[in-house]
Amino acid sequence: MVIVDVETTGGSPGANRLIEVGIIRIENGREVSRFQSLINPGQPVPIFVQGLTGISDHDLVSAPPFEAVADRVEEQLRDALFIGHNVRFDYDFIRYELRRLSRRYQASTLCSARLSRALYPEYKRHNLSEIIGRHGLSVSSRHRALDDAQAVWDFFQKSAQDVGAARFGDVFEKLVAGRPVETRIPAERFMNVPEAPGCYLFRGEKNEVLYVGKSGNLRERILGHFYGDFESTKDGLLLQQACDMEWFKSPGELSAVFLEAELNEKLQPVFAKKPKLQGGMVCAVKQADGVFPWIQLLPESEVLNKENALGFFRGFREAKQALLSIAEKNRICRKGLGIERGSGPCTGVGLGQCDGACKDAAKAAEHIKKLARALQRFGAVAWPFPGAIMINERETETEDEGEAYIVKNWLLMARIRYQGDARRTFKVRQGLDRDQFKVLKKIIQANAPQIRDLNDSEYENLMKEAVF
């Protein structure tokens, strides 16, 4: 078996890339080899990922691309059970990276998080940090590939001693997942899918629409559906039933967001996405409160465009998980981050993940400095323009068809459709939609050429044209 951990630029194998891989190969219960390498992803590493892993763009400049280490990776993986903590993530990325090089890879898998749940059902949490603390494991650097793989291997050995080899082996065998399903969609459907923004849909045997999705890169996103272990998941059911696929190119990524919503409303797919409520995001905010600079999690509507905003998240759970990662990586007090309350020291003290500022006032000053440095890694989300802007998703100003968007303070205010010499302007329901914000931030941070500042007069005139 091989225990694998990867660090990446994001969560999508189609759009994101590896930045580090760590593999430990075990045969007959003993380690026989290990492999670790940083990987040049060919794309920027997001600020949050840099803060989580400690791996910066500078660290990866001289690192090899994946193709340079692919032979070593395949050698380690050959004829072995693939193990990872939340294994689908690691397995998807390895499989997709090999697929980019026209190399096929399939393996049976086992998830160490599921193994922990099965062996220790009395515990609620089974993320790797909780497992490390609960079993007293020693880890040099969390969120580094080989160190996390080592933590999983240490957990296996410790839990086998705790519960007995017989029970460990029985549960282990029951949790081994088979190879992923193959698609019934004809291969020619994938031939001409462009690397461009747009939407796509999967159809079933009776031509019913199963799923509608979108992407800034249709080819990467569509192919990404077929490189994972999906047998007991919603995605697995979708891929088992999918018999055909269609795609629709859009003028840009913002246009794809609207097209996806229109297709979902019109076609009512079987595997429809849950509706995403506007104005439902959460923002982490710095607020001085006594000794510590507390972090308060508030609805975005209360803090939109405030200078003390740290970052937007999909909800309270995601925000707290991000802040918890900061605490673990930087040994920062969880109470100082505002994610724990009550008297006494925080739980991080017992796990060795807090320097003790919550129980020793003398350490508070240094704690505040360390916390301020860590929070900088979230990056600013304050609106970077003096007023409204127009984002044009036509390839040229003279192109007959296309769309443009009026944006102010991260909010989409209006959508403009061009048809020949005519244009129509539509108001957009206000509120910070998650997908819209993600695409807007990507476009604005890239300083894309289609962005144009609007003066007050231009903005007011365009909004007067707008209708619902």
Query: In CATH, what number is assigned to the domain containing residue 215?
Result: 3.40.1440.10
Coil/strand/helix, residue 310: strand
Among 72-86, 380-394, 446-460, top mean pLDDT goes to 72-86
pLDDT band at 229 (very low <50, low <70, confident <90, very high): very low
**Residue 212 in contact with residue 267, Cβ under 8 Å?**
yes
Q: Which residue has the tokens 């539509």?
A: 426
User: What are the Cα distances from residue 460, in Å, to 74, 138, 421, 456?
Assistant: 59, 60, 21, 6
Q: Would 272 be classed as within a structural domain?
A: no
13 and 80 fall within a common domain: yes
Q: Would 44 be classed as within a structural domain?
A: yes
261 and 311 fall within a common domain: no
pLDDT in tens, 291-314: 444 556 566 556 555 555 666 666
- 352 Cβ contact partners less than 8 Å away, ≥ 6 residues apart: 133
90 and 62 fall within a common domain: yes
**Residue 73 in contact with residue 137, Cβ under 8 Å?**
no
Give me the count of residues in the chain. Answer: 468
Q: Say yes or no to pLDDT of 165 above 70.
A: yes
Mean pLDDT of 69-92: 93
Helix (H) or strand (E) holding 420: none
Q: Would 111 be classed as within a structural domain?
A: yes
Bridge partner residues of 427 (DSSP) = 414
CATH code for the domain of 48: 3.30.420.10
138 and 222 fall within a common domain: no
Q: Say yes or no to pLDDT of 275 above 80.
A: no
Concatenated DSSP letters for 191-211? TT--SSSEEEEEE-TTS-EEE
Q: Say yes or no to pLDDT of 435 above 80.
A: no
229 and 314 fall within a common domain: no
111 and 215 fall within a common domain: no
* Type of residue numbered 363: K
Q: Would 52 be classed as within a structural domain?
A: yes
CA distance 406 to 392: 9
Q: Which of 63-77, 389-403, 452-466 has the lowest mean pLDDT?
A: 389-403
Q: Would 11 be classed as within a structural domain?
A: yes
pLDDT band at 358 (very low <50, low <70, confident <90, very high): confident
Which of 213, 199, 317 has the alpha carbon at shortest distance from 251? 199
168 and 206 fall within a common domain: no
Q: What is the pLDDT of residue 364?
A: 66
Q: What is the pLDDT of residue 343?
A: 76
Report the percent of the chain where pLDDT is more than 90.
40
Domain boundary (345, 378, 411) is at: 378
Q: What is the DSSP letter of 467?
A: B
205 and 157 fall within a common domain: no
Q: What is the pLDDT of residue 325?
A: 79
Q: Which of 57-71, 191-205, 264-278, 414-428 has the lowest mean pLDDT?
A: 264-278
Q: What is the pLDDT of residue 174?
A: 85
Residues 124/125/126/128 CA torsion (nearest 10 deg): -160
Q: Would 277 be classed as within a structural domain?
A: no
Mean pLDDT of 267-285: 65
Structure tokens at 7: 């660090």
- Asked whether the whole model's pTM tops 0.85, one would answer no
Q: Which residue has the tokens 């909004």?
A: 463
94 and 49 fall within a common domain: yes
CA distance 196 to 218: 6
Q: Which residue has the higher pLDDT, 217 or 434?
A: 217
CA distance 154 to 112: 11
Mean pLDDT of 267-273: 87
Task: Dihedral sign for Cα 360, 361, 367, 371, please.
Answer: positive
Q: Which residue has the higher pLDDT, 307 or 34?
A: 34
CA distance 295 to 335: 9
Query: Would strands 411-419 and 401-408 be described as parallel, antiparallel, or unpaired?
Result: antiparallel
Tally of domains in the chain: 4
Q: Say yes or no to pLDDT of 7 above 70.
A: yes
Domain boundary (238, 267, 296) is at: 267
pLDDT band at 231 (very low <50, low <70, confident <90, very high): very low
User: What are the Cα distances from residue 75, in Å, to 8, 25, 70, 71, 217?
Assistant: 21, 10, 8, 6, 31
Domain boundary (210, 232, 267) is at: 267
The rounded mean pLDDT for the chain is: 82
pLDDT band at 290 (very low <50, low <70, confident <90, very high): very low
CA distance 292 to 336: 5
Helix (H) or strand (E) holding 114: helix 112-119
Q: Would 374 be classed as within a structural domain?
A: yes
Which of 208, 188, 201, 204 has the alpha carbon at shortest distance from 242? 204
Q: Which residue has the higher pLDDT, 256 or 236?
A: 256
Query: How many angstroms separate the first and last alpha carbons of the chain?
Result: 58
51 and 102 fall within a common domain: yes
21 and 135 fall within a common domain: yes
pLDDT in tens, 174-211: 888 655 556 788 877 877 888 789 999 999 999 999 99
Which of 359, 358, 421, 428 has the alpha carbon at shortest distance from 388? 428
pLDDT band at 444 (very low <50, low <70, confident <90, very high): confident
**Residue 131 in contact with residue 148, Cβ under 8 Å?**
no
CA distance 83 to 158: 16
Domain extent, residue 316, equals 282-378
Mean pLDDT of 263-270: 92
Report the percent of the chain where pLDDT is more than 70.
79
16 and 159 fall within a common domain: yes
Q: Would 60 be classed as within a structural domain?
A: yes
Radius of gyration of the chain (CA): 24
Q: Which residue has the tokens 């097209």?
A: 259
